[in-house]
C-alpha cells in the first residue's frame, strides 16, 4: 500500500474573506447600527453571527472617484456602507474605457506548451505547497479610478447611497452580472460581505430578508427594463412610469435543482407551475428576467412544447397586439416555469400607450413553431425535460459521427496535467449525447451551496470555475449539479502518494469540472481535438 | 441542433488544389523524362514530405493543448494528402511495380498503409451509425466491469431460480450455455458485420429451455434474458470499438514501418544514384 | 448494470483516464477491475479495496460523566466501487477485502507505441543486416533495387556492386560523402564501353562525357544541347530480361528541334538521293542485264536464278551489296578478262634490224641451228664410212657387200638430203616480225614517242641487246627509274623467256612461240611482243600496272598519259577492267582506283536491315517494292549507262514507301527502330 501524505482537512473558515480581522475591528463592526440590529440568537451555533462577520466579511476603503463595482462584472459579494457616500450610475452607463475593465487573464501560449510537456502518470497530482500560501486578501486589489468623475457624474442620472445602506446584493444572490456601476463619491469605508455570509444573514434574519428582497425587486426591475429592446427608444420618464406600473413575479423555487434531482424527469410538465394558461386572457406582457419557461400548446391528449423562453424573452406580445388592433386577445399557448422564473409583467395599457404605436412590424406569434412536424419536437422536448436548456456550453456529441476514439478526453487531460475533466458518457437522445461535462449554466445552481466560494463565476465572461486552492472538497457542488457534471477526486502529492487528512486518515478531495480550458489559447480543447467534428460546445 | 462547422468545403477546395498539384507534378516528371533527365529525386522528396506530413497528424493529436487548428480539418488534410501521396507514389515509381526485394517491400508497405487508410476512413464514416443504433452506450474501458456486473446478475438470477424452484434446470442451463457467453465479449465478427448472430443464438437457447421451466423459474429466466440482451449490446460496442482501435493500431504500425523503410530508401538512393 | 438510473452519477462514475498506459490485469481478463487501477509504472495497486481510516469520537459516558474516546476503523471504498464493504476493516486497521495482485496489462495504445518503435527498429536492423556485404548474397538484399540485366549481371557477379558503384566499397565516411557528391556511374560504363571515333581518354573518362561517338560528339560545342550521361537513357536494375534502354520517341524530341508525332506523321521526307548517294564504283547496268542479257537464251544457264538476291548477298552498313565477282559475274565475264592482255616489250621497226653480232655472244645459235649441224656431221660421218665401205667393197668385188654398200650410200644420201632439208629449214628462218610502232610502255620508259623511228631505234636496239644479255633486268631498272616497282609489275616474268624472245629478235629472226598467247596464262611471248595476259579477275599484275599508270610521275608526261589511257581503256585495257570498274580519269589527283564497293557508313546513326524486309516481300522480286528502276535498256544507251557520271538507275526511296507499313496500326515506327544513338559501340579491353 502506498504511503500516504498527511494533511489537515481544510475547513470552511480556514480562509477568511479578508486578512485576519482584528478584535478591535470586529467589535467595531458588531457595534454598527445595522449589524447590531441583527438578532444574533437566531443564528446556529455552528454558524454564529460573529463568525460570519469575522470570516465572511472584510472592510474596504475607497477614495473618492474610485470605482467600486463595474456594470457587467460578475460579483459574489454585497456591500454595506459604513461611512461615506457612493453613487450608482443609472443612465447613461459608463463606457468600457472609463470603467477600466480589467482584461481577462490572457490565454497564454506558454501555458499550452507547458501542458504539452507535463506528463504525470499518477492522477490528480497537486503541488501541496501552494495550499498554504494563497490568501484572498493578499491578492492585489487594483484601484481603478474614474477620471474626472465629478464631470462624469454631473451628466448622468445617478442615485446616492449613504451610510447604512446595502448595495450589490442583487448580483451576489442572483448569480447575475452587476446591473450598474457604483463609484465612491466621498471617501468611504465599506463592509464587503461575500454572498455565503449574505446568504446566512438573509436566511436567519427576517429584516435583512425583507430588505434584500425589496431592493432586489426595485433595482432589478429598472435595470431589466432598461435592457429590454422593446423599450429601448423610450425616454427615462416613460421608463420610470413603466417601471412603476410593472409587477415583479417569481415562479418556481430558487433551489429547483434539488427538486429536479429528486423527482427526475418523469412527468415534469405536470409539476411545473403555470404562469399563463392557453385560452385565458393575458394580463400583460411577460418579460422573463431569469430562469426558463416552457411554452406549450394542447395537442391531442398531451401538451406539445413549442419552445422555451430564457432571460430577455417575452410572452404574449402577439396576443396583446392583436387585441389592440381589435381582435379578441387570448393566450395562444401555456407558459410554465421550468425550475424557476423571475418574470416582469407589464400591463397592457402601458404597451398600448407607449409601445404599440411606434412598433414598425407586428410581432410574430409563437404558434409559428407549431408548424414543425410532431416528430421533430422530440429533441427539444428532451432538452427541456432534462433541463439542458440551462447550459451555455453544453457538450453535445453526435453519436453518428463519434468513433469513440477518446481523443476529446485525452485532449482535455492534456490541458489539465493529465487529468480529464469530463466523461464521455451522458444522456442520449436519438443519436445525440449530452456528455457529462460542465455546461456553464446560465443559472449555475452548483454555486449555491459552496461554503468557501471556491466555485465561482469567472470575472471574464461567465464560465463557472473552481478555485482548487480554496476548495475544501465538501461535495456540495457535486451534489447540487443536476447533471452530475462535477466530480470529486482524491488528490495526490507530487510523488504520487495519496494525500490524507492528518487527523482522520480520510483522503483529501477536491471538486473538479470542465473549466473551458481557461488560460489555454484556442478555446476548449475537446472541441478542437475531435477528428470527425462530432463534439461541439453548444449554447442551448 | 445546428450542425458543426463543416469541413466539406475545406476538403473539396484542398482536394482540387492537391489534384492540380499532382497533375502538374506528373507533367513535370514526364517532361523531365523526355529531356533524358530524372524527376525521381524531386518526386521522391515530395513524396517523403507528404508522408511525414501525414505522420504529423499523430503528433498533433498528442498536442491538443496547443492551438494548432481543429482536428477535423487536420483529418480532412490527412485524407486529401493521403490520396495525393498515392498519386505521387505512382508518378515516382513511373506507374510500374518495382524490381528488387527491398523496393518491393517498400511498395507493398506503402500500398498497405494507403489501402488501410482509405478503408479505415470509410469504415469510420459508416460504423458510428451502427454504434448509435445499438441503443446502449458503453465506454470501451468499462466493458469488463460491465460484463462482470452482468455476469454476477445473471448468475444471481440463475441461483435464485434454482433456489426458488428447487430444480437444477436453470443452473444446468447456465453452466452449459450461458457461462461461456458471460465470460467475455462474444460474437465479435457478427457484431462488426451486423449479422445478428448473437441475438439469434440467445433467442434459440432461451426458447429451448423455456418449455422446461416452471412458473417460479420463468421470472428468473426473463431476468437472465434481459441481462443477456444488455450484454449483447455491450458486446457489440466492444467488438466494433475494438475493431476501430485495432485498425488504428495496424495503420500506425504500417506507417512507422513504411516511413522507416522510406528513410532507408532515401539514404540508399542518395548514396548510389544521385 | 441493467439499472441505468444512476450510471452517470458523479459518485458512481469516476473519470476515465485513457491517457494512462496500464490497465488492471483483472480487467484484462474480463473480471471486475479494482478501484485503484495500476500505477503509472505498471504495478498493481489494488490488493486491498480501500485504505481504512480511523475515526475518533468523543462520547460522554452517562455513568461516569467522562468523555471517552472511541476509535473505530471505517471502510472508505468509494461509492462507485460498491461503497463501504459490509465486513469493514480488520481490527488492526487493514482492509478485509484483499485480492492477490494482478498483473497490469499495457493498454492497446501503449502496445501500439511499443510495436511502432519495434517496427522502426526491426526495419533498420534488417536493412543493415541484409545490406549484402561481400559479393553476391543468397539472402534477399536490402540494397539491391532489382536484378541487373543479363548482359551486365554475369561479369559483375564476382565483384558485386562496386563494379559500377564506387561508393559501395568505401568506408562509412565514404558512404556518407557519397550522398553529397554526384555519382560516377557513367564513368563505370565508359570503363568498358567505347564508341568508335575518339575513344574516351583512359583514366579520365569523366572529362569525356561528351566525347563519346554518340550524338554529342558531333556537337560537343553546342551549348544548347542537353548535357547527357549514360543514365539518361539507360536504366539498369530492372530485371534480367528487361531492356536497359526503354526509350520513348518523346525523348529524342528533347534535343531534335523538328518535333513530330511519329514516323508516318511528320518525320521529314528522305533526301532525293536517298539511299544512293554513294559515288559509283562499278558500272553495272541493271536494266541491260535484267532485260537483255539475262533474258538472252544463250546466257540463260548462267543468269542468276533468284533475281536480285542471287547477286546481292552481302549486307553491310545497311546496304545489301553484291557479293564477289567470282560468285556473281565470273560466269559471263571471266573469259573476256583473260583474253585482253597488254604488251610490255615489243619489237618495233628498227632502222637497223641486224643486231646479231652484238647479241651473238649471249644468244648463240639457237638450238634449232645446232641440231641439224650435228645431224649433218653424223650423216657426213656416216656417208664417209659408207663411201669408204663402197670403195672397200668395190675392191674386194664382193657384190653383196657392194650392194650393201650401195644401199648404205643410198641411205646416207637420203639422210644427207634430210639433213640438208633441215639445215635449209634452219637457216631458212624468216626475218623477225616487228610492230610498226613502239609499244606505249616502252615508249614511255625510253621517253620516245612511239612513232618516231629515228628517235627510238638506237635506244631500243641497245635495250634489246641488254635484254638479250641480262634478261629483264634492264627493264626493271627502267621501271624503277620511273617509280615503278619491278617486283609488282614484272612478277612472274622469267629471264629465259625474255632472252629467248629477244635473242630471236636480235638475230632478226622471227621468234616462234611455242604456242600462241593463251588467255589467262600470264607472261607470254608472241613473235613480236612479250605481253601479259591476265590470269583472271583481280589479277594483281594488271592492277599494279594500272596503279603504276595512275601515278603522278607517269601522268606528268604525255607519253605516260598514253600509257594511262591504254591501261584505263574499257575495251583495250588489260583485263578490260574499266568496262565495269570506274576509272578515275576525270580527276587527275586520284591516283588509285576504287576497286571495291566501299564499305562506308554514310549514315552512322541510321540502321537498316534488309533481311527482315526481304523475308516479308517476295524474295528476289520484292526488291523493286522500294528500289524502283527509273530507266530501261530502251531509254538509255549503253554508252550513257557506262558513263561513270551516269545518274543512278534507281530512283530515290521516298518516305511513303516505308510508311506504308511503318505507321499507326502497322509495324512499329519508334525512332529507335531505324535510328541509333551511339555509333560503332565497342567493348574496350579491361585493364586488369
pLDDT of residue C111: 93
Q: Which of residues 22-41 of A touch C (CB under 8 A)?
A: none
Option in B71, B75, B241 nearest A528 (CB): B71
A504 — phi, psi (to 5°)? -105, -15
Q: Is A281 found in the same domain as A236?
A: yes
Residue B73, classed as helix, strand or coil, is helix
What are the grid coordinates assigned to A536, written together? Answer: 461541439
Residue C207 pLDDT grade (very low, low, confident, very high; cuts 50, 70, 90): very low
Asked if omega into C275 is within 30° of 0 (cis), the reply is yes
Residue B138 pLDDT grade (very low, low, confident, very high; cuts 50, 70, 90): very high
Tell me, yes or no, whether A369 lies in a domain: yes
Contact C401, C389 (CB under 8 A): yes
- Max avg pLDDT among B225-234, C36-45, C410-419, C471-480: B225-234
Cβ neighbours around A179 below 10 Å, total: 23
pLDDT tens digits along A253-294: 666 776 777 776 666 677 788 888 888 888 888 888 788 899
Q: Is A40 found in the same domain as A176?
A: yes
Helices (H), C236-312: 249-252, 286-287, 308-311
Residue partners of A521: CB distance under 8 A and separation at least 6 = A107, A108, A109, A111, A112, B67
**What are the DSSP E strand ranges found in B187-228?**
none
Q: Is A434 found in the same domain as A292?
A: no
pLDDT of residue A492: 87
More reliable by pLDDT, C47 or A176: C47
- What gap in Å lies between CA B22 and CA B153, rounded to an integer? 60
Domain boundary assignment for chain C: 130-247+670-688, 364-425
pLDDT tens digits along C657-668: 888 888 888 888
Residue A90, classed as helix, strand or coil, is strand
Q: Is A301 found in the same domain as A371?
A: yes
- Alpha-carbon torsion (A281, A287, A291, A295), positive or negative: positive
Q: Do B63 and A402 touch (CB under 8 A)?
A: no
The Cα diameter of chain B in Å comes to 93
Task: Map A123-185 to HEC letters.
Answer: CCECCCCHHHHCCHHHCCCCCCECCCHHHHHHCCEEEEECCCCEECHHHHHHCCECCCEEEEC
Once rounded to an integer, what is the mean pLDDT over residues A71-94? 78
C391 — phi, psi (to 5°)? -65, -40
Q: Is A510 found in the same domain as A463?
A: yes
* Distance separating the N- and C-terminal Cα atoms of chain A: 46
Contact C328, C639 (CB under 8 A): no
Beta bridge partners, A87, equal A160, A183
Q: Is A172 found in the same domain as A272?
A: no
Option in A400, A424, A534 nearest B139 (CB): A424
pLDDT of residue A66: 83
- C575: region left, alpha or beta (phi > 0 left; psi from -120 to 50 alpha): left
* Distance separating the N- and C-terminal Cα atoms of chain B: 58
Task: Map C10-79 to HEC letters.
Answer: CCCCCCCCCCCCEECHHHHCCCCCCCCCCCCCCCCCCCECCCCEEEEEEEECCCCCCEEEEEEEECCCCH
What are the grid coordinates assigned to A511, written together? Answer: 471538486
Interface test with C, best of A265, A423, A473 (most C CBs within 10 A): A423
- Name the nearest CA neighbour of B249 among A533, C108, A371: C108
For residue A344, what is the domain's CATH number?
A: 2.60.120.10
- What gap in Å lies between CA A470 and CA A139, rounded to an integer? 14
Q: Chain B partners of C18 at a C-beta cutoff of 8 Å?
A: 141
List Cα–Cα distances, B152 to B155, B202, C304, in angstroms. 5, 18, 110
Q: Do C17 and A123 touch (CB under 8 A)?
A: yes
| Boundary of a domain, candidates A368, A383, A398 | A383
- On the 0-12 / 13-18 / 19+ scale of CB atoms within 10 A, B178 is buried
- What gap in Å lies between CA B156 and CA B152, rounded to an integer? 6
Q: Do B62 and A116 touch (CB under 8 A)?
A: yes
Option in C27, C119, C165 nearest B145 (CB): C27
- What gap in Å lies between CA A505 and CA A7, rounded to an integer? 9
Q: Is A392 found in the same domain as A376?
A: no
Q: Is A432 found in the same domain as A394?
A: yes
Give residue A493's domain range: 387-538
- What gap in Å lies between CA B24 and CA B91, rounded to an integer? 11
User: Residue C575's Cα: distance from chain center in Å?
Assistant: 33
- Name the nearest CA neighbour of B107 among C145, C129, C137: C145
The CA distance from A92 to the nearest CA of chain C, in Å, is 46
pLDDT of residue A524: 92
pLDDT surpasses 50 at B1: no
Asked if omega into A92 is within 30° of 0 (cis), the reply is yes
Residues A69, A75, A81, A82, Cα dihedral to 10°? -110
Option in C116, C232, C233 nearest B253 (CB): C116
- Alpha-carbon torsion (A238, A239, A244, A247), positive or negative: positive
Tell me, yes or no, whether A5 lies in a domain: no
- Name the nearest CA neighbour of C17 among A399, A535, A422, A512: A422
The CA distance from B262 to the nearest CA of chain C, in Å, is 10
pLDDT tens digits along C269-324: 888 878 776 677 888 878 788 888 888 888 888 888 877 788 888 888 778 888 88
A247 — phi, psi (to 5°)? -100, 145
What are the grid coordinates assigned to C477, written together? Answer: 631498272
Q: How many domains does chain A have?
A: 3
Beta bridge partners, A188, equal A62
Mean residue pLDDT of chain C comes to 77
- What gap in Å lies between CA B165 and CA B175, rounded to an integer? 17
Percent of chain B at pLDDT > 90 equals: 72
Contact A9, A504 (CB under 8 A): yes
- What gap in Å lies between CA C155 and CA C192, rounded to an integer? 11
Contact C142, B101 (CB under 8 A): yes
Q: Chain C partners of B38 at a C-beta cutoff of 8 Å?
A: 231-232
Residue carrying C-alpha cell 480543447: A525
Q: Is A164 found in the same domain as A28?
A: yes
Q: Is A128 on the interface with C (CB under 8 A)?
A: no
pLDDT tens digits along A181-213: 888 888 888 888 887 788 778 778 888 877 877
Task: Map C481-506 to HEC letters.
Answer: HCCCCHHHHCCCCCHHHHHHHHHHHH
Percent of chain C at pLDDT > 70 equals: 79
| Boundary of a domain, candidates A331, A356, A383 | A383
Query: Which of these ranges, A174-178, B123-127, C94-98, has the smallest mean pLDDT?
Result: A174-178
What are the grid coordinates assigned to C553, written together? Answer: 610521275
Interface test with C, best of B61, B256, B257, B261 (most C CBs within 10 A): B256
Q: Is A168 found in the same domain as A45?
A: yes
CA atoms within 13 Å, Cβ hemisphere of C662: 20
pLDDT of residue A137: 37
Tell me, yes or no, whether A212 lies in a domain: no
Once rounded to an integer, what is the mean pLDDT over residues C487-503? 85
Once rounded to an integer, what is the mean pLDDT over residues C434-462? 81
Q: Is A532 found in the same domain as A450?
A: yes
C532 — phi, psi (to 5°)? -115, 125
- What gap in Å lies between CA A319 and CA A325, rounded to an integer? 10
Residue carrying C-alpha cell 463534439: A535
Interface test with C, best of A499, A505, A506 (most C CBs within 10 A): A505
pLDDT tens digits along B146-193: 999 999 999 999 998 898 888 888 889 999 999 999 999 999 999 999
pLDDT surpasses 60 at C63: yes
pLDDT of residue A141: 47
Q: Do C16 and B141 touch (CB under 8 A)?
A: yes
More reliable by pLDDT, C529 or A421: A421
- What gap in Å lies between CA C49 and CA C99, rounded to an integer? 8
pLDDT surpasses 60 at C359: no
Q: Do C53 and A410 touch (CB under 8 A)?
A: no
Residue A478, classed as helix, strand or coil, is helix
pLDDT surpasses 80 at B3: no
- C576: region left, alpha or beta (phi > 0 left; psi from -120 to 50 alpha): left
Q: Is A351 found in the same domain as A318?
A: yes
Contact C628, C650 (CB under 8 A): yes
pLDDT tens digits along A335-358: 988 877 878 888 888 888 888 887
pLDDT surpasses 60 at C633: no
pLDDT of residue C524: 86
Q: Chain A partners of C98 at a C-beta cutoff of 8 Å?
A: none
- What gap in Å lies between CA C585 and CA C595, rounded to an integer? 14
| Boundary of a domain, candidates A204, A220, A241 | A204
Cβ neighbours around A147 below 10 Å, total: 10
- Name the nearest CA neighbour of C508 among C367, C343, C349: C349
Q: Do A420 and C7 touch (CB under 8 A)?
A: no
ipTM above 0.95, yes or no: no
How many inter-chain contacts (A to B, CB under 8 Å) are there?
103
pLDDT of residue C211: 43
What are the grid coordinates assigned to A203, written together? Answer: 436566511
pLDDT tens digits along A113-161: 777 677 666 788 887 777 765 444 333 445 666 666 677 777 777 788 8
Q: Do C53 and A505 touch (CB under 8 A)?
A: yes
pLDDT tens digits along A426-481: 999 989 999 999 999 888 888 877 777 788 777 666 788 898 888 888 888 898 89
For residue A453, what is the domain's CATH number?
A: 3.30.70.20
Q: Is A415 on the interface with B (CB under 8 A)?
A: yes
Tell me, yes or no, whether A130 lies in a domain: no
Helix, strand, coil percent values for chain A (each to nearest 5): 35, 25, 40
Once rounded to an integer, what is the mean pLDDT over residues C384-401? 70
- Alpha-carbon torsion (A455, A456, A462, A468), positive or negative: negative
Interface test with B, best of C152, C166, C179 (most B CBs within 10 A): C179
- Name the nearest CA neighbour of B237 among B182, B181, B188, B179: B188
What are the grid coordinates assigned to B41, written together? Answer: 529525386
Residue B75 pLDDT grade (very low, low, confident, very high; cuts 50, 70, 90): very high
The CA distance from A507 to the nearest CA of chain B, in Å, is 24
CA atoms within 13 Å, Cβ hemisphere of C247: 22
pLDDT tens digits along C514-543: 777 788 888 888 888 888 889 989 889 998
pLDDT tens digits along B31-52: 888 887 888 999 999 999 999 9
- On the 0-12 / 13-18 / 19+ scale of CB atoms within 10 A, B142 is buried
Tell me, yes or no, whether A315 lies in a domain: yes
- On the 0-12 / 13-18 / 19+ scale of CB atoms within 10 A, B97 is exposed
pLDDT of residue B139: 93
Helices (H), A468-537: 476-480, 525-529
Amino acid at each position: 500500500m502506498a504511503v500516504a501524505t498527511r494533511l489537515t482537512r481544510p475547513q470552511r473558515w480556514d480562509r477568511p474573506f479578508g486578512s485576519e480581522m482584528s478584535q478591535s475591528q470586529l467589535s467595531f463592526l458588531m457595534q454598527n447600527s445595522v449589524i447590531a440590529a441583527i438578532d444574533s440568537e437566531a443564528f446556529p451555533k455552528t454558524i454564529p453571527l460573529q463568525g460570519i462577520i469575522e470570516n465572511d466579511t472584510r472592510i474596504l476603503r475607497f477614495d473618492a472617484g474610485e470605482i467600486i463595482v463595474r456594470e457587467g462584472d460578475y460579483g459574489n459579494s454585497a456591500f454595506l456602507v459604513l461611512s461615506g457616500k457612493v453613487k450608482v450610475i443609472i443612465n447613461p452607463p459608463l463606457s468600457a474605457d472609463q470603467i477600466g475593465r480589467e482584461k481577462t487573464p490572457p490565454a497564454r501560449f506558454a501555458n499550452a506548451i507547458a501542458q504539452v510537456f507535463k506528463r504525470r502518470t499518477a492522477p490528480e497530482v497537486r503541488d501541496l505547497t501552494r495550499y498554504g500560501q494563497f490568501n484572498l486578501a493578499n491578492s492585489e486589489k487594483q484601484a481603478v479610478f474614474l477620471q474626472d468623475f465629478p464631470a462624469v457624474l454631473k451628466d448622468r442620472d445617478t442615485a446616492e447611497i449613504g451610510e447604512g445602506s446595502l448595495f450589490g446584493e442583487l448580483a451576489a444572490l442572483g448569480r447575475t452580472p452587476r446591473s450598474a456601476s457604483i463609484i465612491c463619491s466621498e471617501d468611504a469605508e465599506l463592509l464587503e460581505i461575500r454572498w455565503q455570509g449574505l446568504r446566512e444573514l438573509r436566511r436567519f434574519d427576517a429584516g435583512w430578508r425583507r430588505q434584500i428582497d425589496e431592493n432586489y425587486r426595485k433595482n432589478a426591475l429598472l435595470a431589466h427594463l432598461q435592457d429590454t429592446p422593446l423599450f429601448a427608444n423610450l425616454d427615462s420618464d416613460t421608463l420610470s412610469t413603466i417601471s412603476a406600473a410593472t409587477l415583479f413575479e417569481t415562479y418556481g423555487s430558487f433551489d429547483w435543482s434539488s427538486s429536479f434531482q429528486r423527482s427526475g424527469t418523469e412527468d415534469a410538465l405536470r409539476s411545473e407551475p403555470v404562469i399563463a394558461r392557453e385560452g385565458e386572457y393575458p394580463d400583460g406582457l411577460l418579460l422573463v428576467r431569469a430562469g426558463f419557461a416552457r411554452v406549450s400548446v394542447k395537442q391531442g391528449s398531451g401538451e406539445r412544447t413549442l419552445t422555451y423562453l430564457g432571460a430577455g424573452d417575452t410572452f404574449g406580445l402577439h396576443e396583446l397586439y392583436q387585441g389592440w388592433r381589435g381582435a379578441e386577445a387570448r393566450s395562444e399557448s401555456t407558459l410554465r416555469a421550468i425550475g424557476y422564473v423571475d418574470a416582469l409583467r407589464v400591463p397592457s395599457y402601458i404597451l398600448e400607450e407607449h409601445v404599440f404605436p411606434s412598433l414598425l412590424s407586428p410581432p410574430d406569434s409563437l404558434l409559428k413553431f407549431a408548424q414543425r412536424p410532431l416528430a421533430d419536437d422530440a429533441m427539444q422536448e428532451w432538452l427541456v425535460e432534462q433541463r439542458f436548456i440551462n447550459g451555455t456550453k453544453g457538450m453535445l456529441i453526435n453519436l453518428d459521427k463519434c468513433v469513440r476514439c477518446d481523443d476529446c478526453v485525452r485532449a482535455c487531460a492534456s490541458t489539465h496535467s493529465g487529468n480529464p475533466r469530463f466523461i464521455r458518457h451522458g444522456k442520449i437522445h436519438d443519436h445525440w449525447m449530452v456528455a457529462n461535462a460542465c455546461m456553464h449554466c446560465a443559472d449555475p445552481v452548483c454555486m449555491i451551496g459552496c461554503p468557501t466560494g471556491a466555485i465561482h463565476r469567472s470575472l471574464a465572461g461567465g464560465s463557472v470555475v473552481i478555485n482548487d486552492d480554496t476548495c475544501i472538497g465538501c461535495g456540495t457542488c457535486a451534489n447540487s449539479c443536476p447533471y452530475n457534471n462535477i466530480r470529486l477526486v482524491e488528490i495526490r502529492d507530487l510523488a504520487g502518494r495519496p494525500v490524507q487528512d492528518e487527523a482522520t486518515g480520510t483522503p483529501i478531495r477536491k471538486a473538479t469540472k470542465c473549466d473551458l480550458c481557461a488560460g489555454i489559447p484556442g478555446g476548449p480543447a475537446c472541441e478542437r481535438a475531435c477528428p470527425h467534428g462530432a463534439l461541439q460546445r453548444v449554447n442551448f | 441542433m445546428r450542425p458543426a462547422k463543416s469541413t466539406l468545403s475545406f476538403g473539396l477546395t484542398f482536394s482540387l488544389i492537391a489534384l492540380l498539384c499532382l497533375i502538374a507534378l506528373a507533367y513535370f516528371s514526364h517532361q523531365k523524362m523526355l529531356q533524358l533527365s530524372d524527376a525521381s529525386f524531386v518526386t521522391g522528396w515530395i513524396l517523403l514530405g507528404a508522408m511525414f506530413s501525414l505522420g504529423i497528424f499523430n503528433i498533433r493529436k498528442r498536442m491538443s493543448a496547443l492551438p494548432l487548428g481543429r482536428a477535423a480539418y487536420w483529418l480532412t488534410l490527412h485524407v486529401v494528402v493521403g490520396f495525393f501521396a498515392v498519386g505521387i507514389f505512382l508518378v515516382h515509381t513511373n506507374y510500374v511495380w518495382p524490381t528488387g526485394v527491398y523496393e518491393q517491400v517498400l511498395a507493398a508497405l506503402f500500398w498497405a498503409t494507403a489501402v488501410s487508410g482509405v478503408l479505415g476512413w470509410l469504415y469510420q464514416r459508416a460504423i458510428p451509425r451502427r454504434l448509435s443504433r445499438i441503443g446502449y452506450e458503453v465506454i470501451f474501458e468499462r466493458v469488463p466491469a460491465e460484463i462482470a456486473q452482468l455476469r454476477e446478475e445473471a448468475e444471481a438470477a440463475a441461483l435464485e431460480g434454482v433456489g426458488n424452484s428447487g430444480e437444477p434446470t436453470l443452473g444446468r442451463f447456465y453452466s452449459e450455455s450461458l457461462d461461456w457467453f458471460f465470460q467475455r465479449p462474444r460474437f465479435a465478427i457478427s457484431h462488426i458485420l451486423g449479422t445478428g448472430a448473437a441475438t439469434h443464438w440467445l433467442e434459440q437457447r432461451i426458447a429451448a429451455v423455456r418449455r422446461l421451466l416452471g412458473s417460479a423459474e420463468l421470472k428468473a429466466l426473463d431476468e437472465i434474458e434481459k441481462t443477456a440482451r444488455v450484454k449483447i449490446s455491450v458486446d457489440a460496442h466492444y467488438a466494433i470499438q475494438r475493431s476501430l482501435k485495432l485498425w488504428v493500431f495496424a495503420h500506425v504500425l504500417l506507417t512507422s514501418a513504411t516511413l522507416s523503410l522510406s528513410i532507408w530508401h532515401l539514404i540508399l538512393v542518395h548514396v548510389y544514384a544521385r | 448494470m441493467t439499472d441505468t438510473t444512476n450510471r452517470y452519477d458523479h459518485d458512481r462514475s469516476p473519470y476515465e483516464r485513457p491517457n494512462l498506459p496500464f490497465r488492471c490485469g483483472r480487467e484484462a481478463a474480463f473480471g471486475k477491475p479494482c478501484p485503484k487501477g495500476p500505477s503509472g509504472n505498471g504495478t498493481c495497486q489494488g490488493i486491498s479495496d480501500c485504505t481504512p481510516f480511523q475515526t475518533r469520537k468523543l462520547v460522554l459516558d452517562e455513568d461516569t460523566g467522562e468523555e471517552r474516546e472511541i476509535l473505530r476503523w471505517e471502510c472508505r471504498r468509494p461509492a462507485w466501487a460498491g461503497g463501504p464493504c459490509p465486513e469493514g476493516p480488520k481490527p488492526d486497521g487493514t482492509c478485509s477485502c484483499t485480492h492477490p495482485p494482478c498483473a497490469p496489462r499495457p493498454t492497446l495504445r501503449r502496445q501500439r507505441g511499443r510495436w511502432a518503435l519495434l517496427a522502426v527498429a526491426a526495419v533498420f536492423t534488417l536493412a543493415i543486416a541484409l545490406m549484402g556485404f561481400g559479393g553476391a548474397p543468397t539472402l534477399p538484399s536490402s540494397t539491391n533495387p532489382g536484378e541487373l540485366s543479363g548482359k551486365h549481371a554475369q561479369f559483375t557477379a564476382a565483384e558485386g556492386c562496386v563494379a559500377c558503384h564506387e561508393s559501395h566499397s568505401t568506408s562509412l565516411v565514404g558512404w556518407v560523402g557519397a550522398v553529397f557528391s554526384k555519382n560516377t556511374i557513367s564513368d563505370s560504363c565508359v570503363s568498358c564501353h567505347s564508341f568508335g571515333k575518339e575513344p574516351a581518354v583512359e583514366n579520365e573518362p569523366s572529362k569525356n562525357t561528351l566525347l563519346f561517338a554518340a550524338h554529342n560528339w558531333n556537337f560537343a560545342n553546342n551549348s544548347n544541347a542537353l548535357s547527357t550521361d549514360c543514365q539518361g537513357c539507360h536504366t539498369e536494375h530492372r530485371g534480367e530480361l528487361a531492356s536497359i534502354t526503354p526509350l520513348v520517341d518523346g525523348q529524342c524530341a528533347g534535343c531534335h528541334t523538328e518535333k513530330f508525332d511519329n514516323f508516318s506523321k511528320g518525320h521529314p521526307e528522305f533526301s532525293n538521293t536517298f539511299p544512293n548517294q554513294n559515288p559509283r564504283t562499278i558500272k553495272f547496268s541493271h536494266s541491260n542485264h535484267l532485260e537483255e542479257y539475262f533474258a538472252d537464251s544463250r546466257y540463260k544457264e548462267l543468269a542468276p536464278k533468284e533475281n536480285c538476291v542471287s547477286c546481292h548477298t552481302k549486307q553491310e552498313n545497311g546496304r545489301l551489296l553484291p557479293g564477289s565477282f567470282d560468285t556473281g559475274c565470273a560466269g559471263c565475264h571471266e573469259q573476256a578478262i583473260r583474253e585482253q592482255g597488254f604488251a610490255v616489250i615489243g619489237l618495233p621497226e628498227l632502222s637497223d634490224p641486224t643486231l646479231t653480232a652484238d647479241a651473238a655472244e649471249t644468244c648463240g645459235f639457237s638450238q634449232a641451228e645446232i641440231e641439224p649441224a650435228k645431224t649433218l656431221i653424223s650423216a657426213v660421218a656416216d656417208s664417209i664410212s659408207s663411201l669408204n665401205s663402197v670403195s672397200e667393197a668395190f675392191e674386194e668385188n664382193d657384190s653383196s657387200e657392194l650392194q650393201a654398200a650401195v644401199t648404205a650410200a643410198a641411205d646416207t644420201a637420203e639422210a644427207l638430203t634430210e639433213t640438208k632439208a633441215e639445215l635449209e629449214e634452219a637457216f631458212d628462218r624468216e626475218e623477225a616480225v616487228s610492230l610498226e610502232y613502239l609499244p606505249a610502255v616502252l615508249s614511255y620508259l625510253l621517253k620516245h614517242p612511239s612513232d618516231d623511228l629515228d628517235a627510238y631505234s638506237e635506244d631500243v636496239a641497245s635495250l634489246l641487246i641488254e635484254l638479250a644479255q641480262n634478261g629483264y633486268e634492264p627493264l626493271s631498272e627502267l621501271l624503277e627509274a620511273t617509280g615503278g616497282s619491278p617486283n609488282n609489275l614484272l612478277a612472274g616474268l622469267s629471264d629465259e623467256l625474255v632472252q629467248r624472245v629477244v635473242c630471236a629478235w636480235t638475230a632478226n629472226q622471227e621468234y616462234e612461240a611455242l604456242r600462241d598467247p593463251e588467255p589467262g596464262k600470264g607472261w607470254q611471248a608472241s613473235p613480236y611482243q612479250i605481253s601479259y595476259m591476265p590470269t583472271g579477275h583481280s589479277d594483281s599484275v594488271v592492277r599494279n600496272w594500272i596503279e603504276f599508270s595512275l601515278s603522278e610521275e607517269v601522268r606528268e608526261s604525255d607519253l605516260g598519259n598514253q600509257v594511262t589511257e591504254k591501261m584505263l581503256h574499257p575495251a583495250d585495257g588489260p583485263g578490260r577492267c574499266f568496262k565495269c570498274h570506274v576509272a578515275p580519269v576525270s580527276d587527275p589527283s586520284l591516283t588509285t582506283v576504287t576497286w571495291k564497293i566501299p564499305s562506308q557508313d554514310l549514315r552512322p546513326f541510321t540502321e537498316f536491315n534488309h533481311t527482315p524486309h526481304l523475308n516479308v516481300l517476295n524474295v528476289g522480286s520484292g526488291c523493286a517494292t522500294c528500289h524502283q528502276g527509273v530507266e530501261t535498256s530502251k531509254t538509255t544507251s549503253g554508252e550513257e549507262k557506262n558513263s561513270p557520271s551516269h545518274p543512278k538507275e534507281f530512283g530515290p526511296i521516298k518516305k511513303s514507301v516505308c510508311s506504308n507499313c511503318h505507321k499507326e496500326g502497322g509495324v512499329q515506327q519508334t525512332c529507335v527502330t531505324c535510328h541509333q544513338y551511339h555509333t560503332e559501340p565497342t567493348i574496350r579491353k579491361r585493364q586488369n
